[in-house]
């Protein structure tokens, strides 16, 4: 197994919906193999942040990539790649201050409905700092995977954009996107679209 190519300072925790783990073109495993500090927790609910991490953690030092709504996405367009929000979903006045001291980031992995289910089943997520990613273009998935909304991107793309802002290093994003582009190129060459792996042939 190759060494992680990104020595990230902000740790990443991916909460993955159980129905997402068998996706052929899912990105959670790619994130973990690329980042030095990243882990996946598969399930529907956890008691708190520490339970999901399997380690002590301070909620005030962690952020979560908030889903928002289609309306939120339109409102945030052009305001930057990563916006810190208050509990009402409004942008905070001091964005720089909101990003300071963030030691970890939680991302919800699954389709739109699955990610929403994870949000509602884990009320402790509301104690974390909320960030919304504003993509600067469509997902690299293209026609390989259908998304519920045109502004939706893969978990990897969202985490890559968020980390590049939180760590102040644009190279982080490119280093994360490189293996994702390679995965998609192989899929297109082989004529593979995103689908569930057939559990009947798994051993």
pLDDT tens for 13-54 read 999 999 988 777 788 999 999 999 999 999 999 999 999 999
3-class SS of residue 38:
strand
Token digits for 160? 């890559």
- Answer yes or no: is 6 within a domain: no
- Answer yes or no: is 3 within a domain: no
- Answer yes or no: is 72 within a domain: yes
Q: What are phi and psi of 132, to 5 degrees?
A: -120, 135
- Answer yes or no: is 2 within a domain: no
- Answer yes or no: is 166 within a domain: yes
Q: Closest by alpha carbon to 35, among 11, 14, 15, 18?
A: 11
Token digits for 150? 């045109």
How many domains, in total, are found in the chain? 1
Sequence-ordered strand ranges (E) for 70-143: 82-85, 104-109, 129-133
The per-residue pLDDT for range 57-92, each reduced to its tens digit, is: 999 999 999 876 544 555 666 567 899 999 888 899
148 vs 68: CA distance, rounded Å: 13
- Answer yes or no: is 202 within a domain: no
Q: Closest by alpha carbon to 159, among 2, 3, 5, 10?
A: 10
The per-residue pLDDT for range 120-169, each reduced to its tens digit, is: 999 999 999 999 998 888 887 777 666 655 567 889 999 999 999 999 99
148 vs 108: CA distance, rounded Å: 15
Parent domain of 44: 11-190
């Amino acid at each position: 197994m190759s060494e992680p190519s990104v020595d990230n300072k902000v740790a990443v925790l991916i909460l993955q919906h159980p129905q997402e783990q068998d996706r052929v073109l899912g990105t959670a495993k790619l994130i973990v193999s690329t980042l030095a500090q990243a882990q996946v927790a598969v399930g529907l609910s956890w008691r708190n942040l520490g339970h999901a991490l399997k380690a002590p953690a301070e909620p005030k030092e962690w952020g979560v990539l908030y889903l928002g709504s289609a309306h939120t996405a339109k409102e945030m367009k052009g305001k930057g790649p990563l916006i810190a929000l208050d509990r009402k979903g409004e942008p905070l006045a001091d964005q720089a201050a909101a990003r300071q001291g963030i030691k970890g980031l939680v991302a919800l992995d699954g389709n739109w409905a699955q990610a929403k289910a994870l949000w509602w089943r884990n009320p402790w997520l509301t104690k974390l700092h909320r960030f919304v990613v504003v993509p600067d273009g469509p997902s690299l998935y293209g026609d390989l995977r259908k998304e519920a909304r045109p502004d939706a991107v893969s978990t990897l793309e969202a985490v890559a954009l968020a980390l590049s802002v939180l760590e102040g290093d644009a190279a982080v994003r490119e280093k994360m996107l490189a293996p994702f582009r390679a995965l998609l190129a192989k899929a297109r060459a082989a004529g593979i679209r995103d689908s569930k792996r057939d559990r009947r042939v798994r051993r």
